[in-house]
């Protein structure tokens, strides 16, 4: 019989145990009078039978339990007179156990079938009620004859399949017309109900969004495994619960959003994902906020906590930006000469990487709206917006096949903020929430759906990813702005993933590239945790005020303390201290150093940060507690 599960083993176990218990009772009660034994057996039989009846509700199982009790009592009475240890008694005992094993197994299997049926019935009733609820919901707004046939729960709400009446009185448009009324009657956000075509003209699929997934922040998932630019990577979640993926290779990306919409945050997410790519080298330009975007990505390298910087060439002023852009154009030209007639385009690899220039606050580079504020920013002899626009346009137009790409973030997409030649080359466009409908129309002119979605988004970090051939939807981008988290990513990728330009690329990028760190030394010093002289002075003062931490210290401990102190607020790993001591011919084993560091922490002289870094503990009352993110 299909669906019947006969569990012989279980039945044999239960009946076998019962039979053994009966046998033991018979042996133990051989000399006691029969009546009390039978009385106890009767009470047990009734109790067990009632228990089975209540537990299973099965008549057959209850009868079996009662039958087993009575049979056992009868056998006990028989052996009380006739004795146990002879063939007839033992055969009866064994036979009883066997019969009840078989009967029990079958009865239990049948009981399971009944249970399954009841469950299925219950499920059907529930489904019918659920379908009726969705059918009635449409009836509630005056749509009759449309029946719900399938309901699926999703991450954000429900997807319901409806069958339209065969006479054609209700069409999909009829339903679309009532979508807004459904939102109102169900107290949902505007635009939460959408109707789409099903498998045929008579079927409609309704998407009902009941939860605003765009509201909650989604932290950047700290998966730091290596990626490649040749495959899509995720930058957040789509509203329907799927990952928001972009395939960045060969595309330029423009990000538009008002102040506070989340541009810099999204650029951080993009830098994080690109920094995991083994075949991408990242340059960065951030003029407007003097490197607010770039500094956190470089700081761990400046502080010598990692081997390579995430941003291989940062620019925070117009002159440096010009050098970055001009060098990239040289690279594009050199690559196109070298590869002419060989490959149509470069396949990015770790040895032949893609270059991506990330630009925040692009309007500060390109704008030709010379307000007084902007004009003041141009120093004499610095490149003008026209020059920079021209350079960036060259890269965007010609870089594609040479694996030189750009990501551009700016507040508005009008031509005065970002050259229209650049915008038109951007196959990926991300409009962040709170952008005006006019701005949305300018950014994604041919996509009314995208414009509509943008118009209803209200939370920072939400946006629409637009690509010509893709249906746009609302997305929530990961949140990534905590400098400590950025530092963790930068440390990891700097030690394990970041590639370097090959010799050919270096030559093409030229002397401006080669000499960038010398030129940028003052900027790096400013971004470093230790370089600020006034900070350092204050820091030393505070150390001086501490209760003499060096009292009774050995030479290596004094030196270790100095090394930890040198690393300032960022702190240092024990391994680095060990290496430094070793370089100075001071030998200490790791366990001893770690024990000592812990003692120092217990005594309030040092502290261990969340990332396993050790630093000198500053005490309240000193002016320098809680240094800012610098």
Ligand X SMILES: Nc1ncnc2c1ncn2[C@@H]1O[C@H](COP(=O)(O)OP(=O)(O)OP(=O)(O)O)[C@@H](O)[C@H]1O
Cβ proximity to Mg ion, 264 vs 413, nearer residue: 264
Nearest residue to ligand X, scored by beta-carbon proximity = 461
Contact stretch for Mg ion (CB under 5 A) within 256-264, 312-320, 460-468, 574-582:
256-264
User: Which partner in ligand X, Mg ion, none is near 567 (CB below 5 to 8 A by kind)?
Assistant: none
CB of 463 to ligand X, least distance (A): 9
Instruction: List CB contacts of 34: < 8 A, sequence separation 6 or more.
Output: 76, 77, 80
Cβ proximity to ligand X, 264 vs 451, nearer residue: 264
Cβ proximity to Mg ion, 234 vs 360, nearer residue: 360
CB of 268 to ligand X, least distance (A): 8
CB of 587 to ligand X, least distance (A): 48
User: Which partner in Mg ion, ligand X, none is near 481 (CB below 5 to 8 A by kind)?
Assistant: ligand X
Tokens of 498: 């970041």
Contact 489, 268 (CB under 8 A): no
- Tell me how far apart the alpha carbons of residues 258 and 163 are, in angstroms, rounded to a whole number: 43
User: Which partner in Mg ion, ligand X, none is near 557 (CB below 5 to 8 A by kind)?
Assistant: none
Q: Is 306 exposed, middle or buried (0-12, 13-18, 19+ CB in 10 A)?
A: buried
Cβ proximity to ligand X, 72 vs 266, nearer residue: 266
**What Å distances lie between residue 606 and 85, 481, 513, 594, 617, CA to CA?**
82, 27, 40, 12, 4
Contact stretch for Mg ion (CB under 5 A) within 94-102, 261-269, 380-388, 606-614:
261-269
Cβ proximity to ligand X, 459 vs 615, nearer residue: 459
Tokens of 458: 């209200």
Contact stretch for Mg ion (CB under 5 A) within 118-126, 204-212, 236-244, 262-270:
262-270
Cβ proximity to ligand X, 266 vs 328, nearer residue: 266
268 binding Mg ion? (CB under 5 A): no
User: Which partner in Mg ion, ligand X, none is near 261 (CB below 5 to 8 A by kind)?
Assistant: ligand X
CB of 266 to Mg ion, least distance (A): 9
CB of 396 to ligand X, least distance (A): 21
User: What is the binding site for ligand X (CB under 6 A)?
Assistant: 217, 257, 259-265, 411, 460-461, 477, 479, 481
Cβ proximity to Mg ion, 130 vs 481, nearer residue: 481
- Tell me how far apart the alpha carbons of residues 196 and 240 are, in angstroms, rounded to a whole number: 14
Sketch the per residue contact string, 351 through 390, with Mg ion: x for CB under 5 A, - otherwise. Answer: ----------------------------------------
Nearest CA-CA partner of 421 in 451, 438, 398, 440: 398
Longest distance between any two alpha carbons in the chain, whole Å: 123
If you write DSSP's letter for every residue of 220-280 in order, what string do you get? PP-----B-TTS-EEEEEETTSSEEEE--TT--EEEE--TTSSHHHHHHHHHHHHHTBTTE
Mark out the alpha helices in 340-458 (DSSP H runs): 363-366, 372-377, 385-398, 420-425, 437-443, 448-456
CB of 360 to Mg ion, least distance (A): 6
Cβ proximity to ligand X, 118 vs 217, nearer residue: 217
Tokens of 618: 């500053």
Cβ proximity to Mg ion, 312 vs 361, nearer residue: 361
Spell 409-421 as b/e; 16+ CB within 10 A means b.
bbbbbbbebbbee
CB of 560 to ligand X, least distance (A): 38
User: Which partner in ligand X, Mg ion, none is near 219 (CB below 5 to 8 A by kind)?
Assistant: none
Tokens of 178: 């009532």
Neighbouring C-beta atoms of residue 365, cutoff 10 Å: 29
Cβ proximity to ligand X, 363 vs 497, nearer residue: 363
User: Which partner in ligand X, Mg ion, none is near 296 (CB below 5 to 8 A by kind)?
Assistant: none
CB of 303 to ligand X, least distance (A): 24
User: Which partner in ligand X, Mg ion, none is near 11 (CB below 5 to 8 A by kind)?
Assistant: none
Tokens of 522: 């003052």
Among 207, 264, 451, 557, which residue sits at the site for Mg ion (rule: CB under 5 A)?
264
Cβ proximity to ligand X, 327 vs 411, nearer residue: 411
DSSP state of 403: T
Instruction: List CB contacts of 53: < 8 A, sequence separation 6 or more.
Output: 61, 62
The C-alpha angle with vertex 359 and arms to 354 and 365, in degrees rounded to 5, equals 130
CB of 220 to ligand X, least distance (A): 9
User: Which partner in Mg ion, ligand X, none is near 460 (CB below 5 to 8 A by kind)?
Assistant: ligand X
Cβ proximity to ligand X, 293 vs 564, nearer residue: 293
**What Å distances lie between residue 412 and 431, 435, 459, 491, CA to CA?**
10, 9, 18, 34
CB of 264 to Mg ion, least distance (A): 3
- Tell me how far apart the alpha carbons of residues 322 and 328 are, in angstroms, rounded to a whole number: 10
CB of 519 to ligand X, least distance (A): 26
CB of 309 to ligand X, least distance (A): 22
Mark out the alpha helices in 83-207 (DSSP H runs): 87-140, 172-185
The residues binding Mg ion (CB under 5 A) are: 263-264
């Amino acid at each position: 019989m299909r669906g019947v599960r006969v569990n012989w083993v279980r039945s044999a176990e239960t009946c076998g145990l019962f039979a053994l218990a009966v046998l033991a009772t018979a042996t133990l009660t051989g000399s006691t009078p029969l009546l009390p034994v039978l009385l106890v057996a009767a009470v047990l039989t009734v109790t067990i039978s009632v228990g089975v009846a209540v537990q299973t509700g099965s008549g057959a199982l209850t009868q079996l339990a009662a039958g087993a009790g009575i049979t056992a009592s009868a056998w006990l009475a028989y052996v009380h007179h006739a004795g146990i240890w002879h063939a007839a008694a033992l055969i009866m005992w064994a036979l009883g156990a066997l019969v009840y094993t078989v009967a029990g197994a079958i009865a239990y299997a049948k009981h399971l079938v009944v249970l399954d049926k009841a469950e299925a019935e219950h499920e059907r009733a529930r489904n019918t009620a659920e379908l009726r609820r969705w059918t009635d919901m449409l009836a509630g707004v005056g749509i009759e004859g449309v029946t719900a046939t399938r309901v699926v729960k999703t991450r954000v709400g429900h997807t319901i399949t409806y069958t339209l009446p065969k006479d054609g009185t209700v069409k999909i448009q009829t339903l679309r017309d009532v979508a807004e009324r459904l939102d109102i009657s169900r107290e949902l956000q505007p635009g939460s109900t959408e109707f789409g075509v099903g498998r045929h003209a008579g079927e409609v699929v309704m998407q009902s969004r009941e939860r605003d997934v765009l509201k909650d922040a989604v932290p950047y998932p700290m998966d730091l495994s290596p990626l490649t630019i040749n495959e899509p990577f995720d930058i957040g979640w789509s509203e329907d619960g799927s990952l928001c993926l972009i395939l960045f290779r060969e595309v330029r990306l423009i990000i538009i959003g008002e102040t506070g919409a989340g541009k810099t945050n999204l650029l951080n997410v993009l830098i994080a994902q690109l920094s995991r790519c083994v075949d991408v080298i990242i340059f960065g330009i951030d003029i407007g906020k003097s490197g607010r975007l770039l500094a956190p990505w470089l700081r761990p390298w400046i502080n010598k906590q990692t081997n390579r910087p995430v941003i291989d060439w940062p620019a925070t002023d117009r002159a440096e930006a010009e050098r970055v852009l001009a060098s990239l154009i040289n690279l594009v030209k050199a690559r196109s000469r070298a590869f002419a007639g060989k490959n149509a385009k470069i396949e990015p690899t770790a040895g032949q990487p893609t270059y991506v220039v990330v630009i925040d606050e692009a309007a500060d580079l390109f704008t030709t709206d010379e307000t007084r504020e902007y004009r003041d920013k141009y120093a004499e002899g610095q490149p003008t917006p026209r020059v920079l626009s021209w350079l960036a346009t060259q890269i965007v137009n010609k870089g594609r096949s040479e694996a030189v790409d750009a990501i551009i973030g700016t507040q508005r997409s009008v031509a005065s903020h970002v050259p229209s030649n650049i915008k038109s080359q951007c196959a990926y466009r991300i409009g962040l929430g709170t952008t005006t409908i006019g701005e949305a129309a300018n950014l994604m002119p041919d996509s009314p759906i995208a414009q509509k979605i943008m118009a209803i988004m209200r939370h920072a970090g939400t946006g629409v990813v637009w690509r010509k051939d893709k249906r746009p939807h609302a997305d929530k981008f990961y949140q990534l702005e905590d400098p400590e988290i950025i530092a963790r990513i930068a440390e990891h990728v700097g030690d394990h993933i970041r590639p370097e330009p090959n010799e050919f690329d270096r030559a093409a990028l030229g002397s401006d590239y080669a000499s960038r760190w010398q030129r940028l030394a003052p900027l790096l010093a400013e971004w470093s945790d230790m370089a600020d002289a006034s900070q350092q002075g204050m820091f030393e003062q505070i150390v001086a005020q501490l209760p003499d931490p060096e009292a009774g210290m050995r030479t290596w401990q004094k030196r270790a303390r100095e090394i930890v102190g040198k690393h300032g607020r960022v702190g240092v790993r024990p391994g680095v201290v060990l290496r430094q001591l070793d370089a100075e011919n001071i030998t200490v084993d790791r366990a001893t150093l770690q024990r000592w560091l812990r003692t120092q922490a217990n005594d309030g002289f040092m502290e261990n940060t969340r990332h396993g870094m050790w630093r000198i503990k500053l005490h309240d009352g000193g002016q320098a507690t809680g240094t800012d993110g610098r």
